[in-house]
Chain A
Amino acid sequence: MEFAELIKTPRVDGVILHRPFMPTVEGTLCLTGHHLILSSRQDNAEELWLLHSNIDSIEKRFVGSLGSIIVKCKDLRVIQLDIPGMEECFNIASSVEALSTLDILSLMYPFFYRPMFEVIEDGWNSFLPEDAFKDLETMTDEWRLSDVNKDCTVCPSYPPLVAVPKDVDDDTLRKVATFRHSGRFPVLSYYHKKNGMVMMRAGQPLTGTNGRRCKEDEKLINATLRPGKRGYIIDTRTINLAQQAKARGGGFESEGYVESIKSNILQESLIKLVEASNWQTHVKEILTTACLAAQCIDREGASVLVHGTEGTDSTLQVTSLAQIILDPACRTIRGFQGLVEREWLQAGHPFHHRCAQSAFSNSKPRQEAPVFLLFLDCVWQILRQFPCSFEFSESFLVLVFDHAYASQFGTFLGNSTAERAKLSLPEKTVSLWSWVNRPQELERLTNPLYEANSLVIWPSVAPQSLLLWEGVFLRWNRSSKCLDEAYEEMVHIIEYNKELQNKVNSLRRQLAQLETEDPLLQTLE
């Protein structure tokens, strides 16, 4: 297929771009296979480069012969383009609509993008399961890396290598997989070094209405417990959903669960963001559940198994947030990348389905929900409460959000490791982490206040403590000039301090040297 077939009018002159809090720009609008470009064709004048995959919805308006299209983006930006000429406007709108809803993965921009920067470290190889397991081996020998899923048949959404209890063999795993939703048998998510407790995650057990049991499943879970220790199972669903699931053959281990979220509710809450209350409710619930899981592990000294329905959405929110709370390593830039790789990408969060559309879309396929954004929001809430304990700043979280929805990098394409391998993403596209892990980018994303904090950080979940994430939700609707200035001022204060420290240290060294070299001083002494 050729993109040219979809582009009816590739170029229109005299287009006016309106953006909130920015001066209007007049220029030439160009459509390419992947971008909508507006250029004023003047030196150092601003240009607009918008990925089609970032476009969430498009509206046309006509006043006389002047047409306007209103483009609403997945990053929540809304822009207006005034296009002279009815036909041009109509053509542009329908082309953009077609290009932005093109659902063929192999035609996405990452397959065409060629990096203009030097790749220092290939991000595709930075966070492999085998490397993570090597770290685990230094702490415990109770786990092994199983390749039972090497051809992704036991569980299509799992990576080929997963960490499981040492005493459980692959045959048992295969049996357990038949008892768990989508074959998602319990695997290791996190090992708490301090007390050796673990967090596991899985799909829901298929107990059905008659309370079917699975010996192997019980054996696997018990294998994670120390003798005489108790463990907890956290079901992230609400009671009604879990009961419905049971009637359909899914279910939960026994009649208990912890209140949590339903991802289908999430779809609406982003639309009703004006009041923000629904969204904030989910933030509070997810954070609370994650805190509870962390509390069981750290304070109760108990191991935890987390699951929802499939174990690809709210489960991952809980397990990854619990790690942010418990593990200082996850609060570094690299550690957070590893967390996203382990707990989201390799754990099979269906990014392609969930991020297909965003807040403004009219058509609502059931598959999409801002699950990952909700996770990032929760991380931001913790960051706000512990502003010195994270190596990254808010801009890193916003960057990850942007790239999860539309990107030149292949990292967030596809729904699982298996899909990514089939598309040969590591060979054909560039990883987001390859771009991020370069000195100039890292510097931009680093939190100047960071002081490594090795402690567990317990966030407050009181409504007064949870704020609207303005950096994402109001990013395009407010002037952030004063807040940016405050940030610069903060950086300036810290940098000036460092500079002085260096000066004082070097002077002190000089003086010490003078002191030893100077004979006169020695005679004085």
Chain B
Amino acid sequence: MEHIRLPKVENVRLLDRVSPRRSRVGTLYLTATHTIFVENEMKGPDIHVEDCLVCSVEKQAATASGCSLLVRCKNFQVLHFVVPRERECHDVHLSLQRLSQPERCEELYCFSYKPNVDEAERRQEWDFLDLKADYSRMGLPNSLWKFSPVNQHYKVSDTYPADLFVPQSATPPVIVGSSKFRSRGRFPTLSYYSKENHAAICRSSQPLSGFSARCLEDEQMLEAILRSNPRSDFMYVVDTRPKLNAIANRAAGKGYENEDNYSNIKFQFIGIENIHVMRNSQQKMLEVCELRSPSMSDFLEGLESSGWLKHIKAVLDAGIFIAKAVAEEGVSVLVHCSDGWDRTAQVCSVASVLLDPHYRTLRGLMVLIEKDWVSFGHKFSHRCNHLVGDPKEVSPAIDQFLESVWQLMEQFPCAFEFNARFLITIHSHVYSCQYGNFIGNNQRERVELRLRERTHSLWSYLWKNQTDYINPLYRPDHSQTQGLLRPSTAPYCFKSWRGLYNRFDPGMHPRQSVEDYLSAIQEETQQLEEQLASHKQVEKGYKRINSKFLLKKTQSTCSCYRGCTILSDLGLANTPQDYTGCFVTSSPCQPKAPDGSLVLLTQDSNLSNGSDQESGIADVSCRSPLSEDSTRDPDSDEAAYSAA
């Protein structure tokens, strides 16, 4: 609380991002966990933003109307406040900046988030996902792969999980020796194993090979992985970096495997750029998404030059290469990049999604993120900037994974049990720090922070609310659901994900959602099925003996069904956008209408600045109600318009 210089500011204006002429006036509250905007007269919904979600706060020069404060959030919400007095703006600015960048872990929201859940239940939340269960689902341990306690207490690699699977023939000396030859001690270990053909995906960090160094144990380790796939006489080693980056690492005593030193490996580079390139690319892409009424070419050219979709394609291409090697060739793959916690995590998890239908279910995706990202030490705290830290450590690696899954969902609409809302919710909570799952950089840190004892788990929250996240088109027995996904990676297959990056611009999204419609239908179908069953029961009852009780029971279900009008929430109170703002302005002209009552629609700049009352259309857009809320009653919306 000591960081809040000013807990409350009145008469703050919140400007609409798309058409700044629309604004809402209200009070801004700063609290230790949230920033809250409450509109005067309670017209619109309050806006709550977790302080941890604030990415940057920018104070602009004061003007006559006040001082602008631009708050950008990690979930891509942009809030433009105008604070009446500069002094207040200054205080809000400093407070928010401090609140959004805690110095100590204990300040994070998850330690103060206390939902109404008793302790026993809270502990159960953390038992919801069990990684060992996922390994046994894969059929492990077996005669080829064994559980290894070598990294208990994080002694071999402090960024690896304690529980690992290694080839049956890998002895502790071999593992320890290999780990000494790998960056951060991240030795080759199992990520995914295919029961059907014994091919496996393994992951590690880069070898410390420099220009000529060798390590017998590391060579033995790869040999052991190869031997754990009895049907195959070679394995792939995939370096996900661009070749140039890998070569540059050799000068620092790191690098990549020499094919001559390892028996029967095929070495392959897959050029995924590093975290710095990705960070800049996303920044550029977000700037494009944030443009105010851009032209089509502004948008498309900006998107193209950000390179974002090219990078998504690179991640997906790498995943496809590995998935095909495993499923079609039956060949095991060792994947690494530099440290093996960003690109390697992306590529292994994308390959798993492509390979195994289980990872396309709600529970499966959670397990996958828990395994390939959380347990294998993706540095969430650094990459998501949970605490004040080095801005060069920040990178959207997990965003890219979630987007890769979304791109796949666009191509295979029936193959995933979850919907896009599920991915967006996960994204949001990776950054919000409301749950303990993504705090810290690795398992060791999380154990030290005693997160399992002190915080709540996102996974069980998602599971409890699973009805919100189910894709109505998913059917476990659908042909699209089965086996390996073979996506197309032609450039036109990659689309801009407005659902995530323009999530807070409701005007840009379809006004009717096919998915919600189908979900409502399915819910109704379920009720009908129940009713049918009970009707049949009554019918049987009639045949046996007429029973009034049974009849009454069905009648009550009937009325419950009638009360459920599935389409009522699909009301369409949408309002026109600012269509005039899109026009290029030119020099003003004097309308010489043949008759006083006739006015030409001119290209005049008056159209967009709203000052020309004469033309009568200048304020068309600002009169339209601000909210595009589709759940509002259409009639009331119309009424509000005519009253204005």
CA of A11 to CA of B296 in the docked complex: distance in angstroms? 49
Contacts of A489 in B (CB 8 A): 413-414, 473, 475, 478
CA of A520 to CA of B542 in the docked complex: distance in angstroms? 10
Contacts of A387 in B (CB 8 A): 510, 512-514, 517
> Is there contact, CB below 8 Å, between A256 and B508?
no
> Is there contact, CB below 8 Å, between A277 and B532?
no
Q: Which of B412, B521, B546, B595 contacts A222 (CB 8 A)?
A: B595
The reply on B539 being an interface residue by CB < 8 A is yes
CA of A101 to CA of B134 in the docked complex: distance in angstroms? 65
CA of A486 to CA of B473 in the docked complex: distance in angstroms? 7
> Is there contact, CB below 8 Å, between B603 and A256?
yes
> Is there contact, CB below 8 Å, between B507 and A462?
yes
Query: What is the distance, in angstroms, from A389's C-beta to the closest C-beta of chain B?
Result: 7
Interface residues of B in 446-493 (CB under 8 A from A): 472-473, 475, 478-480, 488, 490, 492-493
> Is there contact, CB below 8 Å, between B539 and A458?
no
Among the listed stretches B79-87, B149-157, B186-194, B522-530, which one makes contact with chain A, having 4 or more residues with CB under 8 Å of it? Answer: B522-530
Among the listed stretches A88-96, A288-296, A406-414, A426-434, which one makes contact with chain B, having 4 or more residues with CB under 8 Å of it? Answer: A288-296
Contacts of A465 in B (CB 8 A): 498, 508-509
Among the listed stretches A64-72, A309-317, A497-505, which one makes contact with chain B, having 4 or more residues with CB under 8 Å of it? Answer: A497-505
> Is there contact, CB below 8 Å, between B576 and A291?
yes
The reply on A61 being an interface residue by CB < 8 A is no
Among the listed stretches B110-118, B140-148, B319-327, B582-590, which one makes contact with chain A, having 4 or more residues with CB under 8 Å of it? Answer: B582-590
Contacts of A255 in B (CB 8 A): 589-592, 602
> Is there contact, CB below 8 Å, between A461 and B300?
no
- Closest chain A residue to B529, Cβ basis: A500
The reply on A63 being an interface residue by CB < 8 A is no
> Is there contact, CB below 8 Å, between A275 and B572?
no
Contacts of A235 in B (CB 8 A): 600-601
Contacts of A385 in B (CB 8 A): 510-512
The reply on A218 being an interface residue by CB < 8 A is yes
CA of A468 to CA of B491 in the docked complex: distance in angstroms? 13
- Closest chain A residue to B295, Cβ basis: A281
CA of A281 to CA of B297 in the docked complex: distance in angstroms? 7
Q: Which of A449, A511, A524 contacts B538 (CB 8 A)?
A: A511
> Is there contact, CB below 8 Å, between A460 and B508?
yes
The reply on B286 being an interface residue by CB < 8 A is no
Query: A388-B512, A489-B414 in contact; A458/B480 too (CB < 8 A)?
Result: no
Query: A232-B599, A464-B498, A508-B535 in contact; A213/B589 too (CB < 8 A)?
Result: no
Among the listed stretches B162-170, B240-248, B616-624, which one makes contact with chain A, having 4 or more residues with CB under 8 Å of it? Answer: B616-624
CA of A388 to CA of B568 in the docked complex: distance in angstroms? 13
Q: Which of A228, A463, A494 contacts B521 (CB 8 A)?
A: A494
Query: A254-B591, A385-B510 in contact; A515/B525 too (CB < 8 A)?
Result: no
The reply on B574 being an interface residue by CB < 8 A is yes
Interface residues of A in 224-255 (CB under 8 A from B): 225, 228-235, 239, 253-255
The reply on B107 being an interface residue by CB < 8 A is no
Query: A258-B601, A449-B517, A486-B414 in contact; A478/B594 too (CB < 8 A)?
Result: no
The reply on B551 being an interface residue by CB < 8 A is yes
The reply on B496 being an interface residue by CB < 8 A is yes
> Is there contact, CB below 8 Å, between B577 and A461?
yes
Determine which residue in A384, A482, A500 has the highest number of CB atoms from chain B within 10 A of its CB, and name it: A482
> Is there contact, CB below 8 Å, between B598 and A518?
no
CA of A14 to CA of B480 in the docked complex: distance in angstroms? 37
- Closest chain B residue to A283, Cβ basis: B296
Q: Which of A299, A493, A524 contacts B620 (CB 8 A)?
A: A299
Contacts of B404 in A (CB 8 A): none
Q: Which of A239, A278, A295 contacts B586 (CB 8 A)?
A: A239
- Closest chain B residue to A194, Cβ basis: B638
CA of A281 to CA of B295 in the docked complex: distance in angstroms? 7
CA of A464 to CA of B580 in the docked complex: distance in angstroms? 18
Query: A239-B586, A457-B511 in contact; A256/B576 too (CB < 8 A)?
Result: no
Query: A511-B535, A525-B548 in contact; A485/B479 too (CB < 8 A)?
Result: yes
The reply on B128 being an interface residue by CB < 8 A is no
- Closest chain A residue to B549, Cβ basis: A524
> Is there contact, CB below 8 Å, between A288 and B492?
no
CA of A477 to CA of B536 in the docked complex: distance in angstroms? 51
The reply on A182 being an interface residue by CB < 8 A is no
- Closest chain A residue to B616, Cβ basis: A230
How many chain A residues touch B (CB < 8 A): the figure is 90
> Is there contact, CB below 8 Å, between A478 and B488?
yes
> Is there contact, CB below 8 Å, between B582 and A496?
no
The reply on B70 being an interface residue by CB < 8 A is no
Contacts of B546 in A (CB 8 A): 518, 520-521, 524
Query: What is the distance, in angstroms, from A308's C-beta to the closest C-beta of chain B?
Result: 13
Contacts of A507 in B (CB 8 A): 532, 535-536, 539
Query: What is the distance, in angstroms, from A278's C-beta to the closest C-beta of chain B?
Result: 8
Interface residues of A in 461-481 (CB under 8 A from B): 461-468, 470, 474, 477-479
Query: What is the distance, in angstroms, from A295's C-beta to the closest C-beta of chain B?
Result: 5
CA of A275 to CA of B584 in the docked complex: distance in angstroms? 23
Q: Mark A349-376, 1 if CB is under 8 A from B, else 0.
A: 0000000000000000000000000000
Contacts of B641 in A (CB 8 A): 299
> Is there contact, CB below 8 Å, between A300 and B617?
yes
> Is there contact, CB below 8 Å, between B517 and A453?
no
> Is there contact, CB below 8 Å, between A482 and B524?
no
> Is there contact, CB below 8 Å, between A254 and B600?
yes
Contacts of B35 in A (CB 8 A): none
> Is there contact, CB below 8 Å, between A458 and B528?
no
Contacts of B521 in A (CB 8 A): 493-494, 497
> Is there contact, CB below 8 Å, between A276 and B300?
yes
Contacts of B18 in A (CB 8 A): 462
Q: Which of A457, A482, A496, A511 contacts B480 (CB 8 A)?
A: A482
> Is there contact, CB below 8 Å, between B591 and A461?
no
> Is there contact, CB below 8 Å, between B572 and A462?
no
CA of A486 to CA of B480 in the docked complex: distance in angstroms? 9
Contacts of B567 in A (CB 8 A): 451
Contacts of B536 in A (CB 8 A): 507
- Closest chain A residue to B18, Cβ basis: A462
> Is there contact, CB below 8 Å, between A256 and B579?
no
> Is there contact, CB below 8 Å, between B512 and A386?
yes
The reply on A120 being an interface residue by CB < 8 A is no
CA of A197 to CA of B264 in the docked complex: distance in angstroms? 79
Contacts of B507 in A (CB 8 A): 460, 462
Contacts of A276 in B (CB 8 A): 300
> Is there contact, CB below 8 Å, between A482 and B411?
yes
> Is there contact, CB below 8 Å, between A221 and B528?
no
Determine which residue in A222, A453, A477, A497 has the highest number of CB atoms from chain B within 10 A of its CB, and name it: A497
Contacts of B623 in A (CB 8 A): 299
The reply on A138 being an interface residue by CB < 8 A is no
> Is there contact, CB below 8 Å, between A388 and B492?
no
The reply on A510 being an interface residue by CB < 8 A is yes
Query: A387-B512, A511-B538 in contact; A464/B603 too (CB < 8 A)?
Result: no
Query: What is the distance, in angstroms, from A415's C-beta to the closest C-beta of chain B?
Result: 29
Determine which residue in A217, A256, A457, A510 has the highest number of CB atoms from chain B within 10 A of its CB, and name it: A256
Query: A280-B296, A524-B546 in contact; A221/B532 too (CB < 8 A)?
Result: no
Query: A255-B590, A256-B604, A497-B528 in contact; A386/B572 too (CB < 8 A)?
Result: yes
Query: What is the distance, in angstroms, from A390's C-beta to the closest C-beta of chain B?
Result: 10
Determine which residue in B300, B536, B590 has the highest number of CB atoms from chain A within 10 A of its CB, and name it: B300
CA of A389 to CA of B571 in the docked complex: distance in angstroms? 11
Known contacts A384-B510, A482-B480, A503-B532, then 5 further A-B pairs from the complex at CB < 8 Å, ordered by chain A residue: A295-B620, A388-B570, A470-B492, A497-B521, A521-B546
23 contacts between A and B (CB under 8 A): A222-B597, A228-B597, A230-B597, A232-B617, A233-B598, A254-B590, A257-B600, A292-B579, A296-B601, A296-B617, A386-B572, A387-B517, A460-B577, A464-B502, A478-B488, A486-B414, A490-B473, A494-B518, A497-B524, A511-B539, A514-B539, A514-B542, A518-B546
